[in-house]
Amino acid sequence: MAFDIEADDPYDLDVDFYHDMNLIELARVFVDEGLFGNIPSNLEYYIDYDAMAADLAHDYTEILIDGVVCVYRCA
């Protein structure tokens, strides 16, 4: 199904957008927000954010807009 600018409302699109953030920073935000559950502070140093960013890259895209790195996902 294609988006028709004349007939469709852009606000109906399900887009997540993270301004001034790369995938590694997004992984850190997800951990901080508890998306992966409660992680004890003594284990936080063992989290591989690079690996998490690589996994996130399957669903999210990093783009450069006017010199600013942003991440988005269309669901």
CATH of the domain spanning 10-74: 1.10.10.1190
User: Where residue 66 falls among pLDDT bands split at 50, 70, 90?
Assistant: very high
Reduced to 3 states (helix: H, G, I; strand: E, B; else coil), residue 47 is: coil
What local confidence, expressed as pLDDT, does residue 12 receive?
79
Domain definitions of the chain by residue range: 10-74
Helix (H) and strand (E) counts for the chain? 2, 3
Given a cut of 80, whether residue 3 has pLDDT beyond it is no
What local confidence, expressed as pLDDT, does residue 14 receive?
87
C-alpha to C-alpha distance for 33 and 68, rounded to whole angstroms:
23
DSSP 13: S
What local confidence, expressed as pLDDT, does residue 49 receive?
98
Q: What is the pLDDT of residues 8-59, one digit of tens each?
A: 887 878 889 999 999 999 999 999 999 999 999 899 899 999 999 999 999 9
Those residues whose C-beta lies under 8 Å from the C-beta of residue 56, and which sit 6 or more positions away, are 23, 26, 27
